[in-house]
Structure 1
Amino acid sequence: MIKSLKFIIGALILSTSVFAQKSDVDKKNWVSADIFAEKIQKQQKAQIIDARSAEEFAQNHINGAVNLNPQDASFIEKLNPAQPVFVYSIANGRSVAFAKELATKGFNEVYVLDGGIGTWVGHGKALFTTAKKGLNINDFNNIVASNKLVLVDVGSKYCGSCKKVKPILESLKKEHSDALKVVEIELEESPQLIASLKRVTSFPYLILYKDGKVTFERSGIAELKGVLDTALAQAL
């Protein structure tokens, strides 16, 4: 069992290795959720850009944000280059690309939410959401308490790296259903639960529970084969 789990985890690491590679752009203005929120609060009318798709924005977004597309040249008319601009997406991909575009347009103070909306929700920050159902904290706690080993995958259906994780989770469910309970939590359905966990820093985020206690957790899973092998071997 342990050998087959190691094989699956190895495939999972390989499939998501790109997730851990950060852009080579200047990171001095990549800020945490706390700093992002603090700087926004200091603005009388903060310029917050949601760099995701219109569909994603409609389902959830940071309060006060506007959904802009850098491919639309008119976006520049909606922003003041003399004021700070705050940009976020799911992770750092689209937000960093937008920030680079703003820099070429003369915007000197642009802040990127490092870790994207995942870290924002994970830190319990205010969020507009249309979610009306999904796994709640009581049901989640019951699942964790009633299963010896629970692997929790937190992400978004729009997250490319998260999608690469799904086939591997399905393999885990089928092959190890008796030993391992897999729980998938998505932003679009259960933002309150993600916030209540108080540990998610970006998507995808994995948490391994044994006998109700967290034995391993990490945002992304690239380059963590040895750590995961050890965690699963000890848990099993």
Structure 2
Amino acid sequence: MKTNKTIKNSITILILFLTIIGFSQTKSSNTVSLDVFYSKIKSEKNPQIIDARGPEEFALNHINGAVNFNLESKDYDQQIAKLDKTKPVFNYSIGAGRSVWLADDLLKKGFKEAYSLEGGIANWIGNGKPFYANSKSKLTLAEYKKIIAENKDVLVDIGSIYCGACKKVKPVLETIRTQYGANLKIIEIDLEDSPQVIADLKTVKVFPTLILYKDGKIVFKKEGLGDLKNDVDVALAVK
């Protein structure tokens, strides 16, 4: 009996994440911009804000007033039952995958309104909205600006250790680092280590975000990996 139950639970979790992956590829009709998400929250006296990331992510940083819903937990239905169906529910995750799934599931369960934040926590913190962090940022905005000013060419990688797309950037950065050596300064900024500098920059909408500076000026800003290696080569080839 226990084996069958374990298999059933494993299949349920697999289906859940396959669904999440599917949602993350397309924008749901319940996904709203940061401005809409923020204004709706401000209009509520006691907004229901749900962080759909894992508990370890939530412990490091989250939107002020949010509570954590672990979509894999056994008490998921009990967590849902604590919410008021007549009031809006505001969901977010690292990007939009888990929060989109949660918003759609809440609507299926009879909730009046449920929204997912476009760009997730990256968009919220990256545009300077109020948030909680359990530690002080390792890098300050002043230190960031000093690095930009003191180096001719600087490539900045902004992301999160929990972001799947961000992990794909790392081997490309190593290739670039090997090729350019001391001629190109590379800064890697993770949400978990330096959330405040990400907030102070007010330029991040999604993870990863790549910014290339040349003589203190932005040459390009990329949202997502794309063809980073080629873009860097082309930009640095320009005299």
- The structure with higher relative contact order (CA 8 Å, sep 6+) is 1
1:123 equivalent in structure 2? 127
TM-score (norm 1): 0.84
- Kindly tell me: are residues 175 and 86 of structure 1, through their superposed partners in 2, closer, same or farther at Cα, counting changes over 3 Å? same
| Structure 1 unpaired stretches of 5+ | 1-18
Matched, 1:182 2:186: yes
Separation (CA, whole Å) in 2 of partners of 1:206 and 1:145 = 18
1:32 equivalent in structure 2? 33
Q: Aligned AA for 2:136?
A: K
1:159 equivalent in structure 2? 163
Q: Secondary structure at the match of 2:183?
A: coil
Separation (CA, whole Å) in 2 of partners of 1:163 and 1:77 = 36
Question: Shift of residue 119 of structure 1?
Answer: 0.7
Separation (CA, whole Å) in 2 of partners of 1:26 and 1:195 = 26
1:216 equivalent in structure 2? 220
Question: Shift of residue 225 of structure 1?
Answer: 8.1
Q: Secondary structure at the match of 2:182?
A: coil
Q: Secondary structure at the match of 1:157?
A: coil
Q: Aligned AA for 2:52?
A: A
Aligned 8 A contact 1:131 1:191 in 2: no
Question: Shift of residue 77 of structure 1?
Answer: 0.9
Matches of residues 81-230 of structure 1 in structure 2 within 5 Å? 81-222=85-226, 230=234
Q: Aligned AA for 1:110?
A: A
Identity %: 51
How many residues align? The count is 215
Q: Secondary structure at the match of 1:176?
A: helix
Q: Aligned AA for 2:50?
A: I
Aligned 8 A contact 2:165 2:208 in 1: yes
Q: Aligned AA for 1:56?
A: E
Q: Secondary structure at the match of 1:177?
A: helix
Separation (CA, whole Å) in 1 of partners of 2:134 and 2:68 = 16
Separation (CA, whole Å) in 1 of partners of 2:99 and 2:152 = 39
Question: Shift of residue 175 of structure 1?
Answer: 2.3
Separation (CA, whole Å) in 2 of partners of 1:69 and 1:108 = 22
**C-alpha RMSD of the superposition:** 2.1
Flag as ranges the 4+ runs of structure 1 deviating above 4 A.
Answer: 223-230
Please tell me whether Structure 1 or Structure 2 has the larger radius of gyration of its CA atoms. 2
Separation (CA, whole Å) in 2 of partners of 1:69 and 1:25 = 22
1:47 equivalent in structure 2? 48
Question: Shift of residue 152 of structure 1?
Answer: 0.3
Q: Aligned AA for 2:26?
A: D
Matches of residues 39-78 of structure 1 in structure 2 within 5 Å? 39-71=40-72, 72-78=76-82
1:79 equivalent in structure 2? 83
Question: Shift of residue 230 of structure 1?
Answer: 4.3
| Structure 2 unpaired stretches of 5+ | 1-20
Aligned 8 A contact 2:28 2:100 in 1: no
